[in-house]
Amino acid sequence: MATAPKKRTQGGPSAAKPKRSAAPVRSAPKARATAEASITLSSKNYSAWSLRGWLIAKLAGLDFDEVMVSPDDANARKEILLLSPSILVPCLTHGGIKVWDTLAIGEYLNEVKPDAGLLPTDIAARAHCRAICGEMHSGFSSLRSALPMNLKGDFPGYKVWARAEGDIERIAAIWHECATKYGGPFLFGKKPCIADAMYAPVVTRFLTYHVAIDRVCSAYCKQIMAMPEMKEWIAAAKLEQEDIEELNMEF
């Protein structure tokens, strides 16, 4: 695994007075550290895509700096545009190459770090892995809007919107199929891969909103939450100052 990333913040002149930014921009960018790459991230508490990209980079063993950006702040958005052509996080910069979009980051890092095991070695398992990553990337919008990632939150008795139930059932079916085919404890066997990073924010949502899940899914959730990388991310999320009260969709 990579050493702990160095943290940098990114922001414009308005940085001193964030309004409701989840990841307040604190200072002008500092001199570049020695890491081989950097990743733009926003809130560790709310940004599910930031978590996915960060986790993939960690699993790749990449040495990277974190560049925290505040997508809520107009000036910071201009800065993000320079850092990420989609104005979305995460965006990886590695040796002058910019990769935005989490799946593209995963595929790129799999090429750069072929021994990291980001994708399964078996071609059929690899195809399966890509298919369920694709499902996560382009789907489950009901779940994502009904149960936004909120690592500091804890909502026992939360009423899950009926349309999100369908997504939850499909995700449980995916996890079951993987457990049966590959034997766990991770989706594709003994080591976590890109698919586990893609589904990690689903795990945290299930726990935050106390979603009723069966024994197999619950064991998988425990496995993800026990990962040192997850512990590191969640500890940092809990230290974040700002809360977004009106949050009602995936951020």
Long-range residue pairs from 240-246, CB within 8 A, at least 24 positions apart, any chain: 240/22, 240/23, 240/43, 240/44, 240/45, 240/152, 241/24, 242/18, 242/20, 242/21, 242/22, 242/23, 242/24, 242/43, 243/22, 243/45, 243/152, 244/20, 244/22, 244/43, 244/46, 245/20
Does 47 interact with ligand GSH (rule: CB under 6 A)? yes
Q: Which stretch binds ligand GSH (CB under 6 A): 3-11, 43-51, 169-177, 215-223?
A: 43-51
Sheet strand arrangement including 97-100 = 6-9, 64-68, 37-41, 91-94, 97-100
Among 49, 54, 188, 233, binds ligand GSH (CB under 6 A): 49
Minimal distance, residue 223 CB to ligand GSH, in Å: 23
Minimal distance, residue 42 CB to ligand GSH, in Å: 6
- Ranges within 12-31 binding ligand GSH (CB under 6 A): none
CA distance 18 to 120: 42
The contact pattern for ligand GSH, residues 125-164, with x = CB under 6 A and - = no contact, is ------------x---------------------------
The number of beta carbons lying within 10 Å of the beta carbon of residue 251 is 20
CA distance 189 to 224: 13
Q: Which stretch binds ligand GSH (CB under 6 A): 26-34, 100-108, 125-133, 157-165?
A: 100-108
Does 178 interact with ligand GSH (rule: CB under 6 A)? no
Q: Total binding residues for ligand GSH by CB under 6 A?
A: 14
How far, in Å, are 176, 191, 218, 232 from residue 183 at the CA level? 10, 11, 15, 26
Exposed, middle or buried by CB within 10 Å (0-12, 13-18, 19+), for 237?
A: buried
Minimal distance, residue 154 CB to ligand GSH, in Å: 21
CA distance 105 to 102: 5
The contact pattern for ligand GSH, residues 60-79, with x = CB under 6 A and - = no contact, is -----------x--------
Between 130 and 137, CB nearer to ligand GSH: 137
Among 48, 67, 136, 171, binds ligand GSH (CB under 6 A): 48
Q: Which stretch binds ligand GSH (CB under 6 A): 21-29, 97-105, 167-175, 211-219?
A: 97-105
The contact pattern for ligand GSH, residues 76-95, with x = CB under 6 A and - = no contact, is ------------xxx-----
Binding site residues, ligand GSH, CB under 6 A: 42, 47-50, 71, 88-90, 101-103, 137, 251
